[in-house]
Chains A and B, each alone.
Chain A
Amino acid sequence: MEPGHHINVRISEVKLVTRTGVVLTAAALSLSLAACSASNEPAASGSSDTATTGTDAGATTAALSGTLNGAGSSAQESAMDTWRAAFQSENPDLVINYDPVGSGGGRTQFFDGAVSWAGSDSALSEADGEYDAAAARCGTDGAINLPVYISPIAVVFNLPGVTSLNLDSATIAKIFDGKITKWNDDAIASQNDGVTLPDTAITIVHRADDSGTTKNFTDYLAQTSDGAWGYDASGVWPTDKGESGQGTSGLMEIVTGTEGAIGYADDSKAGDMGKVAIKVGEEYNAPSSEGAATTLSDSTVASVNGDNDLAYTINRTTTQSGAYPLMLLSYAIVCQSYDDATEAANVTGFLSYVASEAGQQAAASASGSAPLPTDLSAQVEDILAQIAG
């Protein structure tokens, strides 16, 4: 049969096509996996490029130089941008890098010696052996937690015409646990005389990723709701109810776009959404930087590594007037002593500025964070001055 010859030729072409297909799949596969491993890079690679280079920086008054690397909390990112810009303009020879990989990633990089300090939304954990890991990196004096960033967390909601609601912790817990499903529920209405509440269904919105904001929010609910919140504090949202968004911006996008939605976000990112005033003692307080600072002054320091270790246990159940206990406290984790004198000078020089009143005010106006109370700010500066190189 004459046409048979033709057909055979064509078949080989088809095989070529399908074979190309398989090769393409393999290529796509290895590409996607390469992306995985690339994202792991910062945490895994313990490079030694932290060694600061430059002139001998003996006196703290001398201009600093070299490279200073930090990594960690993304909550600190916008404040950190402000601090870096301001400090580098005073010290033109100093380059400061901050990688907002997240608190966990920042701590890991700090233990690996890849960065000189870590930004973290939670203090080092003794139970997880993090103080030991830090001691292995820093030497016998180990590492300490220094508070540098405070921000109130706002409970935000989307109800047209309503800009503020008064809610106690138990009601917030029931809403986020799916026990209260309508906005005109008696539990909400009884605390908000004069507010017209619609018959809208409540859409719970939480974070999809592991986050410091979620950890502080669930910690607040667990400690203050008198058992209405049946879960422990956790960075990962504990229930399967409601909707979830990626990061603060993803969460805010859903709340903004969905009538009847309720969520929680760093107050500086809350935009013009309605905000819940939470019940503290006998009053209802809206999120404010003063309220967060008041809460901190009513909290206790739970030092693990000596008096210089300012790991706080935030007093969520404070009843002080004006306090806002639903807040996030973020730390700078530093060594008590550094092998390299230049590195020590750079870390202490930069973080002294960060903790100073000027630095805190700059961050407050740029990112909406709450400035550290003045005495705490002075205390952190004092501790930084003791860090040896």
Chain B
Amino acid sequence: MSTTRAASEVTAEGTPLTAHTERAANKIFFGLSAASASLILVVLAAVATFLLLEAWPALTDSSGDYLDKVAWISPEKGQSLIEIAGYLIFGTVLISTVALLIATPLSIGIALFISHYAPRRLATGLAYMVDLLAAIPSVVYGLWGGMVLVPFLQPFYQWLADWFGWFPLFAPAEDGTVSATGRVALSASIVLAIMVIPIITAVTREVFLQTPKLHEEAALAMGATRWEMVRMAVFPFGRSGIVGATMLGLGRALGETMAVYMILSVGLSYSWSLLNASSHNTIASYIAAQFPEANTQGVSALIALGLALFVITLLVNMLARWIVSRRSEFSGAN
């Protein structure tokens, strides 16, 4: 602000007419950018208000009469909205976390290769490809995942259950079999991982590229190998960036609808087994599936679930900001 004012004062000593128009242009530009910035806040507030207002009847229903009219809640079996929300939050977080466990190491590897290992020409091409991957719509990932990837992965799941079934995440059903179609939580996680890899890679790559050359050269000069240099200079410097990128990916994975909607055989339970069908569902996919036939009460209850997702995403973002701000003070760059 101060610099622009100084600039206009300089021209003010010249011709008064130009100064006048410049000042007007400044004002207009300030107004436009301020309006754009506040628009974001308005939209966010509007969404939050909408969620709260529409979900209110479902949230404040203490007698159970209101939610009794929702097709997918059966109070006669002791089910409540909270219980369903619990299953869905568990499924959402489980599937997204597994997706991140797969995507983060891969993304860091790709980013590191592009920023520090690959020859310049290959790196440019590869970076372009990664950005291209980010532009593929999720419904295409869903179709591809459901029709090509999932049938391909099914034999691998059986193998996984046969050899690593003792590990809770890979436990088969009681009769020792896994889903015959492969439409299980692990498939959803893998496709989600493929979807978030471009996001995490793009951000970490930029952060790695910012590593001070002097740090890198100092490490190399002390006799460090390339890997030691990466460990001593690049990683400490980029740590907060990696966390930020991962959280960005988590945000996308949590809210992803179409891919999960098209790949997963849904069910409601607190099962840890990623290889059993009809055990998990995510909030976004549940809303998409139940909305078309929902009555007024059903819509309200679904919006309450949407509110839960909103809160989770908000918490994830706040956590990410907190980690980033805390880490940056201790990063190797200081």
Binding site for B on A (CB under 8 A): 3, 6-7, 10-11, 13-15, 17-18, 21-22, 24-30, 32-37, 39-40, 43-44, 74, 101-105, 107-108, 128, 181, 201, 203, 208-212, 234-236, 240-246, 250, 253-254, 257-258, 260-261
Contacts and interface: CB of A to CB of B under 8 A. Distances in A.
B118 interface: no
21 contacts: A17-B207, A18-B328, A22-B244, A22-B317, A22-B324, A32-B255, A32-B257, A34-B43, A37-B47, A40-B303, A104-B298, A105-B293, A201-B177, A209-B293, A234-B71, A236-B72, A242-B265, A244-B278, A246-B261, A254-B183, A261-B180
B47 A209 contact: no
B289 A209 contact: yes
A208 B214 CA distance: 57
Interface of B: 40, 43-44, 47, 50-51, 54, 69, 71-72, 146-147, 151, 175, 177, 179-181, 183, 203, 206-207, 210, 212, 214-215, 237-238, 240-241, 244-245, 247-248, 251-252, 255, 257, 261-262, 265-269, 277-279, 284, 287-296, 298-299, 303, 306, 310, 313-314, 317, 320-321, 324, 328, 333-334
A102 B291 CA distance: 9
Contact of B212 (A6, A27, A29, A128): A6
A281 B278 CA distance: 35
Contact of A208 (B51, B237, B289, B294): B289
A328 to B, nearest CB: 14
Given A25-B247, A25-B248, A243-B183, A104 B295 contact: yes
Nearest to B249: A25
B40 A30 contact: yes
Contacts of B262: 246, 250
A119 to B, nearest CB: 12
B292 A74 contact: yes
B294 A105 contact: yes
Given A22-B320, A27-B40, A34-B47, 16 more contacts: A15-B328, A17-B241, A22-B317, A24-B248, A26-B40, A40-B299, A201-B177, A203-B181, A208-B265, A208-B289, A210-B71, A212-B293, A243-B265, A244-B277, A254-B181, A258-B180
Contacts of A105: 291-294
Contact of A43 (B151, B248, B287, B299): B299
Contact of A243 (B44, B179, B206): B179
The 4 A-B residue pairs with the shortest CB-CB distance, nearest first, are: A102-B292, A210-B293, A243-B265, A209-B289
A242 B278 contact: yes
B317 A244 contact: no
A210 B294 contact: yes
A212 B180 CA distance: 27
Tell me which of A22, A208, A236 has the highest count of chain B C-beta atoms within 10 A of its own C-beta.
A208
A73 B298 CA distance: 17
A39 B317 contact: no
Contacts of A40: 54, 291, 299, 303
A26 B39 CA distance: 13
